[in-house]
Chains A and B, each alone.
Chain A
Amino acid sequence: MKFINKALVAAAFATAALSASAQEQFFPALSYRVGPYAAGGTGFFGGVIDYLSLLNAQGGINGVKMTWEECETEYNATRGVECYERLKKSRGGATMVEPLSTGIAYGLLDRVAQDKIPMTTLGYGRSDAADGRVFPFVFPLITSYWNQAAGMMKYLGDKEGGLEKLKGKKIVHLYHDSAYGKEPFAVFEAYAKQYGFELIKLAVPHPGNEQQSQWLQIRQAKPDYVILWGWGVMNAVALKTAQRNGYPSGKILGVWWAGSEEDVIPAGSAANGYTTMTFNTPGNYPLLDEIKKKVYAAGKGNLEDKSRIGSTYHMRGVTAAILWTEAVRKAQEKYGKGKVMTSEQVRWGFENLNVDEARLKALGAFGMMPPVKTTCLDHEGSGAVKVQRWDGKSWKAVTPNWVVGDKAMIRKMQEESAAKYATEKKITPRDCSKEG
């Protein structure tokens, strides 16, 4: 009798183990590996898949393995929406979604709220989505454009020895002539008013492969700094034209979409000394060594060119995957360890993320990204940025610590903008005091 009981218990455990291993946490990867933006897409989604592979090699999250499926979007909104609709219900349902494309993210904004699937937009998308009361399913994790703009001002101020010293200075905002380039206007204008510097806004029409007239204007204005809010080919052309016009690259501060290897290598020596914003600290980390050892050595690495491991986009992808899986882990703590989480449970996880320094140390990524702590009110979780400099071969961090701008001001702007969105869409914001 005892023996039978034991056998039964063992069998029950075995089936439980089997069914647990059969269950997997599914991540749709809306990647783009062809087309003009393929450099970013391959790096970012390569990083995501590498980290998920590493987690699987380490045994998953409390035994739950990660699984993913790629779908080519070509950075095109129609294709991206189709991919999302196709993958949202496959393999037990999508955990979350991250399109890494503003156009696709806008196309999914209403859909994710209806399907109750959280969407992260790391470093792009609507800045006001940080207000979790109006956008319960959207997470612009780490930083939005507005906090980045505030971080830029803080950095330039610190460089001068305090924001007050910016008085009487001239700063040029050289931007991609699109909604993207205009997004930081409000922030820069507020800072210019408060600290009394002159803000000169110069637009570069898409795609930006001819900027002689803008840089002539810059040469005449002799600004103290040039903020390069560019995209794609515009960045390399700006650096080259600056060199031709004798403007020092050290005074140009780029946005983080102007701060990858792919942006500066085409500019050659013109990029030496150029600084940009980023939300990763460039360098090597134990986590990246782990990826090399456990993923690439086993032939499971996603990047074809191994020298891109740890490049800007790859690291950004690893960062994104860390945040996603930490949200799953957090959700498991509440809803049951070793279980597959539903998208709504993971949404709760995203809203209660607490990736602090100790956790980052445990992951082997201490310093790679700022600590992230989200709440129902704040879906951004950090707002911290870093400045990096290109030395001709690699990026090096300029600021030893994380740079944080005037977060209170940005928060006020986000709330105002989100409230306007809520009235337009007739949404009643959630009451965060009632959220568990």
Chain B
Amino acid sequence: MLYREAGQFKATYAEDSQIFPIRQDRIGIALILAVAFVGTPLLSVAGLLSDYTFTAILTPFLIFSLAALGLNILTGYAGQLSLGTAAFMAVGAFASYNFMLRIDGMPILVAFILGGICAAAVGIVFGLPSLRIRGFYLAAATLATQFFIVWCLTKVGWFTNYSSSGVITAQKIEMLGYTFDTAFSKYLFVLSVVTVMALLAKNMVRTNIGRSWMAIRDMDMAAEVIGFRPMQTKLMAFAVSSFYCGVAGALFAYAYLGTVEPEGFNLDLSFRILFMIIIGGVGSILGSFLGAAFIVLLPIGLNMFMHFLEGSVGINLPSGISSSIELMVFGGLIIFFLIVEPHGLARLWQIGKEKLRLWPFPH
């Protein structure tokens, strides 16, 4: 009843082709954005939300969502399995750092975009094998990206400005004379970037480009027959996906960690992001956010819950046991969700939406 679109008539072509065609969705998105941009600042002023929420929960969640979104474009929409996500993030972070360092007065946003473009260029080069190989074999080929980039960043001193420890230290985020240095301002900065890029992605997957990706994903032979050029389409997917990952990597370095080492962008991180889209939903923008929430926030929640249990109930577990229990519960939950809904959390939401449409009269 709440979610019924009956009575919403579309009189113009523009209305028919808007990003969120259902009014309830538009209201929902507007509400989420309002809470994210206006609600949280009010709560933080009121003292209900601390810096902890912004810097330790929301900022990493948004950054990982963006990275998952990047991978989802490549894997979910264009059907190219990749294990090089962390490497593209590293390229974005290290390229942005060098643009900021070597060009005086470089605006930070331009540096991020240039960093993303560098990642896109690397993505295109390492996407070339996708023209010949598919599926798991391609995943193995993208592993090369992962190892090559991390090796290259440690090997060539220039990338880290010959830092003796082989690390880069992100410069301050400054725009129009304002320095984003508090937890909250960094959160707003990340939120703005992620919002714009997520809306762009949502729009992009409905355009000709997005449709060509999906055609290639579903059956590349058929896509070729109906006139999509596989080389351009696949490389485009690699470029756009790497661009997103690159910007996510730059945000990871600038708005979150501050100092990063190439090893920070290792294979583990690539796998984590791959798990995010598998659990969240392959081929879904919303799924990227849900998956990031699951992988980033759930372990933290479990940890807090265990601490709470130990504190309030007074059970004193031997050290190390609670950490192991957390891991077991986390693993159990992953298996549970994959059994209940193999297509990810986004699919659960879609099913819920369809049920809501009919509710309360299902027949």
Contacts and interface: CB of A to CB of B under 8 A. Distances in A.
A177 to B, nearest CB: 7
Interface string B312-346: 00000011101110110000000000000000000
Contacts of B300: 79, 82
Interface in B35-73: 50-52, 55-57, 60
B254 to A, nearest CB: 11
A79 B299 contact: yes
SS class, residues of chain B in contact with chain A = helix
A316 interface: no
Contacts of B50: 89
Contact of B303 (A46, A72, A102): A72
A129 B51 CA distance: 27
A220 to B, nearest CB: 23
B256 interface: yes
A106 B57 contact: no
A421 B169 contact: yes
A81 interface: yes
A128 B327 contact: no
Contacts of A74: 323
Contacts of A15: none
Given A78-B60, A82-B56, A82-B300, A304 B320 contact: yes
A159 B163 CA distance: 32
A302 interface: yes
A205 B327 CA distance: 29
B164 interface: yes
B147 to A, nearest CB: 8
B185 interface: no
B220 interface: no
Nearest to A302: B319
B154 A182 contact: yes
Contact of B261 (A31, A42, A79, A103): A103
A13 B80 CA distance: 73
A361 B320 CA distance: 33
B362 to A, nearest CB: 43
A377 B203 CA distance: 56
A168 interface: no
B308 to A, nearest CB: 12
Interface string A320-355: 000000000000000000000000000000000000
A257 B266 CA distance: 20
Contacts of B51: 85
Given A34-B324, A79-B299, A179 B56 contact: no
B24 interface: no
A14 B166 CA distance: 56
A257 to B, nearest CB: 14
A179 B318 CA distance: 36
Contacts of A182: 154, 166
A70 B319 contact: yes
A209 to B, nearest CB: 15
Contacts of A425: 169, 171
A127 interface: yes
Interface string A35-65: 0001000100110010000000000000000
Interface in A62-114: 69-72, 74, 76-79, 81-82, 85-86, 89, 102-103, 106-107, 109-111, 114
A81 B257 contact: yes
Contacts of B257: 77, 81, 106-107
Contacts of B318: 304
Nearest to A146: B164
Contacts of A128: 164-165
A85 B323 contact: no
A172 to B, nearest CB: 19
Interface in B243-258: 256-258
Residue of B260, B262, B300 most packed against chain A (CB within 10 A): B300
A183 interface: yes
Contacts of A109: 169, 258-259
A424 B52 CA distance: 28
B135 interface: no
Interface in B78-118: 101
B319 A106 contact: no
B151 interface: yes
B58 to A, nearest CB: 11
A107 B258 contact: yes
A314 interface: no
B154 A177 contact: yes
Interface string B264-282: 1010100000000000000
B326 A106 contact: no
Contacts of B258: 106-107, 109-111
- Residue with the highest number of chain A CB atoms closer than 10 Å, among B262, B268, B320, B324: B320
A214 to B, nearest CB: 16
A57 to B, nearest CB: 17
A45 B323 CA distance: 14
A128 B167 CA distance: 12
Max chain A CB contacts within 10 Å: which of B101, B154, B164, B172?
A: B164
A178 interface: yes
A33 interface: yes
A32 B324 CA distance: 11
A413 interface: yes
B56 A33 contact: no
Nearest to A303: B319
Among A34, A45, A111, A179: residue with most chain B CB under 10 A = A179
Given A34-B324, A183-B165, A205-B151, 12 more contacts: A78-B60, A79-B300, A81-B56, A81-B60, A81-B257, A85-B55, A127-B165, A128-B165, A178-B261, A417-B163, A420-B163, A421-B169
7 contacts: A34-B324, A72-B326, A178-B154, A179-B166, A183-B165, A205-B147, A425-B169
The 4 closest A-B pairs by CB, nearest first: A179-B166, A85-B56, A110-B258, A106-B259
